[in-house]
Structure 1
């Protein structure tokens, strides 16, 4: 079958059947022929004698075609068989050779399919268990780093405070001791001064007595020497002062350490970090698995759910209280939240009646409905994320520091909150858990290149991929949940301007393109499937999109205050 032209591809709304000249929806797949089939061609395929035994499944359950590899011994033949004894792939002619006589020969495609499933399972384990668990452990370490730094900072402050207190006490005691030496010195000097005065007085007395003796010795009348009695007073007794003795302090570095306190590492064996076993995953992982299982159950209940051959308009809302429609969020109840570029955020019922209105910072993809029935919206001016409960109570939920939150999405798988942010020339996506705890930052790829410039709109796919519309890069950027770049989508023609973006239960990515007023439909791996909506369906200036639990597509139009609902799955 010839490939459709670009013009034909632009008009298609589904995967084309692989039967020649058939342009219907190829929702089924023949694993034997490796081609998509519409319902009619499937029936004819099963009736044909040549193909009635072929295995036909839903397209999303298809087997991947065996890669072509030529046999080295028989270059005209492909390796299609597998010899279990020799554990090598062989061609059909090799299977008849004596080297493989009596060996168990299996179909290589079956082996490939089984191996592919095993590796897919291992890949799933990496994505669902190993990466989230390791990222959680890493996040714990980051928290512990912050906590250790906080503790050590407080220790340093305490040590400095203790040292300052001790220094003050040392200064006080030193001052008192020095003052005491002055007092003692004054007392001792006063005593010595008094003794010195005593001896001065006594010396004066002796000189007086000496003169008196001299006078008596010089007189002529010697009889006086016999009659006059002269007595010398004894030398006054005084005491020597007892000088103070200085007793040096007896202290060591250990004594000072005891006074100041000491930081010790406890004699305690470190505990190993708790790693959740795969059989007993964390609540976060259990929630993920539960949601995935529910998604599978829904898929099983609707085995024919696929793209319709046409898009059907279901209803249309005229939303009051807004000048235009930039973004749409749908609650489980079916009520709408709609915002414009003037900061008006309104809630309406199923009939389009206004229920509440909030004045916010203007923005685009800045609000999201949660699985718990709340609405979360960002205020990029205040750098705050708010939560609105069903009883209309508004609370501060998350503060984003220096980063401006410009887009937000609540995961239907885990309940995590994905936020697109900007700061100057930088941009990133941050993941928070349901409690508002930051658990992941995505900013650069493996080579250190910036992944984002301005993620205006953000959503999550069923496999955990994070999808953003980056208007400044003119791209849809898709990153897996571990933060690694998967692919970019740049539209079908130059001048691609992506705005609103969402995903559905089949893993399709739907994105608004404002320049051509179209909605593009991509598969889970970024492959372009169709232009699902265009001005031919009567839409004008598409800006915001979302899909509800009933698989209805809501499209908000920027130049009007209209939200139109479509059916595109059957």
Structure 2
């Protein structure tokens, strides 16, 4: 800040009375003076002769102050009127010009307030409906991807089994046919060998007959020639073999397809993913706003806790190259790492100088943290790897998570252990590693065998060694002790609760950011609700809030609320670290 007044403004509580030296809760607002007022100052304001005609309303119904813009024709005048005929903004002096004679004018601040409410409503729809709904649809798609991959793998397995069965049958039939050829061959060869024997015997007979004929033809035995009649046996009759004939199988590709089956899309029209109507969400939003107002009124009537329901700005960081920051990590030297939806992960010092910038696949969740030795460790979901960046800025592969996809990570400031929230298909777990990256504990089920969490979105550790998990799908904060035993769950104070960033303070209280209502819930270490911490939403550049435990600030560990304001991140103390 450049001057003392700015410094004083930066150190104030956001919702305090705007009257000088008054520190009461500024629950009312003067639309003419544009400042918050407590109940007593409001009464005095309306009694004062100079301000009694001012419009004082409940703070939430306030008009938003018109941004200052100088008139081009009269630079000493501010533009504060709107010509309904010409449809242009102008100053009060311009309205007296001839070209505007008889024209009607509106208060530009009224128009700005009306438009601001419309823009704020549309912005709220994005934050509370379109964005969460789209993220849920994206999760559904991820689940569908896993489901489809599993189905297709089962189909491929069935196809392979079917093919193997058919192959085995083909081999079996083929072997039987081949064996049949051997049997038929033996039968034919046996018959032919028998015929050979028959002719061998006949040839021997002919040899014998030849000898006899020679004796008969001898001149010394002429008497025998006339005394005997010799008749030669006929040649034995044999048959030619009839060889088997192979009849080839008659089949084509279609026959094989019929045998093996085929895969195809069923003739079913796909279901449209179900969406809650915007109107229903708007109704829920009104209900929540009313509920939050009731809680605030009750807390104003009776405060039993020495806790602040507002925040004090401590420091502002400029983070070039980061758009709509989603998570921060701060080291012992108060250097800040910030990540955005585009996977940019940037480190800056307190003056806003960029020290390091890397591109990651992370878009949301608490996917990076700073260790005791001031190294940054972050998860790469797509690669299922945790990387480490030590002081020498060299990116090294630190831990491989196998089949599990790492979502969130936290480095313990107590003992240096590393807690990683992971998912696989529809399972989730928290794994503890030591400083060197050795796996030492897995936390997945409670004593009854029920899963502890579904989607560990953000994760942190309390001073009593409890592990606090911000579960995006369960819409709750799940807390287990160091041994992994379930302790309690906190599901907010209304039906719509979207827990995001989470941290703890030196008293063991848990602070969790509700991205739906854009407020912070304060819960003690036993799961008992304490109060809401309201974030000032009057800034038009307000984008998101997230939490982080600052390792060292003013000599102690405190929780900090980080509010993203276009190009800057405001680091705020919520007052819960003191009693």
| TM-score normalized by the length of structure 1 | 0.59
**How many Å separate the matches in 1 of 2:205 and 2:474?**
112
Aligned positions of 1:362-441 closer than 5 A: 382-384=441-443, 395-398=450-453, 406=461, 407-408=467-468, 416-418=475-477
Q: CA deviation digits over 1:223-252, x for unaligned, max 9?
A: 432320111111111111110111122222
Partner of 2:272: 272
1:249 aligns with 2:308: no
Residue 300 of structure 2 aligns to a residue whose secondary structure is coil
Checking the alignment, whether the CA contact within 8 Å between 2:79 and 2:91 is kept in structure 1 is yes
Partner of 2:292: 295
Partner of 2:72: 72
**Structure 1 pair 291/15, CA: closer, same or farther in 2 (3 Å)?**
closer
Partner of 1:549: none
Q: CA deviation digits over 1:445-485, x for unaligned, max 9?
A: xxxxxx99x9x95413485448699xxxxxx9x9x9xxx86
**How many Å separate the matches in 1 of 2:545 and 2:301?**
24
Further displaced range: 20-29 or 187-196 = 20-29
Q: Cα distance, 1:57 vs. partner?
A: 2.5
Residue 57 of structure 1 aligns to a residue whose secondary structure is strand
Partner of 1:349: none
Residue 193 of structure 1 aligns to a residue whose secondary structure is helix
Match 2:300 to one of 305, 328, 352: 305
The unaligned stretches of length 5 or more in structure 1 are 314-360, 365-376, 422-430, 444-450, 470-475, 502-508, 511-524, 540-570
**How many Å separate the matches in 2 of 1:404 and 1:113?**
39
**Structure 1 pair 22/71, CA: closer, same or farther in 2 (3 Å)?**
same
**Structure 1 pair 7/103, CA: closer, same or farther in 2 (3 Å)?**
closer
Match 2:512 to one of 451, 459, 484: 459
**Structure 1 pair 92/496, CA: closer, same or farther in 2 (3 Å)?**
farther
Partner of 1:203: 203
**How many Å separate the matches in 2 of 1:417 and 1:53?**
48
Q: Cα distance, 1:55 vs. partner?
A: 1.2
**How many Å separate the matches in 1 of 2:29 and 2:69?**
23
Partner of 1:163: 163
**Structure 1 pair 441/115, CA: closer, same or farther in 2 (3 Å)?**
closer
Q: Cα distance, 1:163 vs. partner?
A: 1.6
Q: Cα distance, 1:432 vs. partner?
A: 12
Partner of 2:58: 58
Partner of 2:322: none
**How many Å separate the matches in 2 of 1:185 and 1:127?**
85
Residue 132 of structure 1 aligns to a residue whose secondary structure is helix
Checking the alignment, whether the CA contact within 8 Å between 1:14 and 1:307 is kept in structure 2 is no
**How many Å separate the matches in 1 of 2:88 and 2:140?**
46
Q: CA deviation digits over 1:399-420, x for unaligned, max 9?
A: 7799987443679x99712469
Q: CA deviation digits over 1:73-96, x for unaligned, max 9?
A: 111110111112222211101111
**How many Å separate the matches in 1 of 2:469 and 2:270?**
39
Further displaced range: 217-226 or 52-61 = 217-226
**How many Å separate the matches in 2 of 1:39 and 1:122?**
31
Q: Cα distance, 1:293 vs. partner?
A: 3.8
**How many Å separate the matches in 2 of 1:254 and 1:489?**
64
Partner of 1:101: 101
Question: How many residues were matched structurally?
Answer: 411
**Structure 1 pair 420/468, CA: closer, same or farther in 2 (3 Å)?**
farther
Residue 82 of structure 1 aligns to a residue whose secondary structure is strand
Residue 69 of structure 1 aligns to a residue whose secondary structure is coil
**Structure 1 pair 210/530, CA: closer, same or farther in 2 (3 Å)?**
closer
1:130 aligns with 2:122: no
Q: CA deviation digits over 1:51-104, x for unaligned, max 9?
A: 111111334443221100011111111011111222221110111112222222
Residue 46 of structure 1 aligns to a residue whose secondary structure is helix
Partner of 1:231: 231
Partner of 2:115: 115
| TM-score normalized by the length of structure 2 | 0.59
Further displaced range: 15-24 or 235-244 = 15-24
**How many Å separate the matches in 2 of 1:279 and 1:5?**
41
**How many Å separate the matches in 2 of 1:405 and 1:398?**
14
